[in-house]
């Protein structure tokens, strides 16, 4: 992505996060990004294209980080730990992206459906790891979809935690707090975390 397109994209994400997608217009994006409307339309044919790229880029970022961090993991437990750490880091670092996704989950418009689809696709990554842990005897045999959704929800709560505290989150501190709870809840027996 070239510098101008990146500036438009980042400006739009910030505005979508602060004002909501529907309350953000092209004029605001171009004014804050410091580009002409024609420049925006050269890179994006409509506002929805920016939103689509936001979902695509965000999901790609999560998937790539998870693949990288879990590639060398030997156990499902280690993979879940790696995923939780990645998710907390992404949640903290890309807060505006997640604000947009979470605010657009509900509804029946195209953007709402795209957000849900992206979230469910990501949760399938967690389901796969949990199934692996169940199959190899590391995790108890529970409802895989519920467990994966729960892990996603618990780790996303680091964003709420940051907002509540109104300051930066210590990723390691949040990770250590979550990991004990999540891993102990998954373990088939009382194994050490």
**Would you tell me which CATH number, out of the four given (1.10.10.10, 2.40.30.10, 1.10.10.60, 1.10.20.10), belongs to the domain 1-45?**
1.10.10.60
- Residue 73's pLDDT is what? 97
Q: Locate CATH 1.10.10.60 in the chain.
A: 1-45
CATH class in words for 47-186: mainly alpha
**Pick from 58, 168, 42, 182: nearest CA to 121:** 58
Alpha helices in the chain (DSSP H): 3-19, 26-33, 37-43, 47-70, 76-93, 95-103, 110-135, 144-165, 171-186
Distance between CA atoms of 63 and 57, rounded to whole angstroms? 10
Q: Locate CATH 1.10.357.10 in the chain.
A: 47-186
- Residue 159's pLDDT is what? 66
What are the residues facing 187 on neighbouring strands?
139
- Residue 102's pLDDT is what? 87
- Residue 123's pLDDT is what? 93
171-184 per-position pLDDT tens digit? 888 888 788 778 87
Residue spans of the chain under pLDDT 70: 158-159, 162-163, 189-193
Cα angle, residue 67 at apex, residues 1 and 59 outer, rounded to 5°: 45
Q: What is the DSSP letter of 105?
A: S
């Amino acid at each position: 992505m070239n510098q101008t397109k990146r500036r438009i994209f980042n400006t739009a994400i910030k505005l979508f996060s602060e004002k909501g997608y529907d309350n953000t217009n092209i004029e605001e994006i171009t004014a804050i990004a410091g580009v002409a409307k024609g420049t925006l339309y050269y890179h994006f044919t409509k506002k929805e294209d920016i939103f689509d790229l936001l979902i695509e880029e965000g999901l790609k970022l999560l998937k790539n980080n998870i693949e990288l961090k879990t590639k060398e993991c030997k156990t499902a437990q280690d993979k879940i730990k790696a995923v939780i750490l990645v998710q907390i880091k992404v949640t903290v670092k890309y807060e505006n992206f997640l604000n947009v996704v979470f605010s657009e989950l509900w509804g029946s418009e195209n953007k709402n459906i795209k957000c849900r689809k992206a979230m469910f696709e990501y949760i399938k990554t967690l389901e796969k790891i949990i199934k692996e842990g169940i199959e190899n005897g590391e995790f108890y045999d529970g409802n895989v979809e519920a467990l994966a959704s729960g892990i996603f929800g618990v780790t996303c709560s680091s964003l709420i935690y940051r907002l509540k505290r109104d300051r930066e989150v210590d990723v390691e501190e949040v990770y250590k707090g979550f990991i004990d709870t999540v891993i102990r809840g998954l373990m088939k027996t009382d194994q050490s975390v």
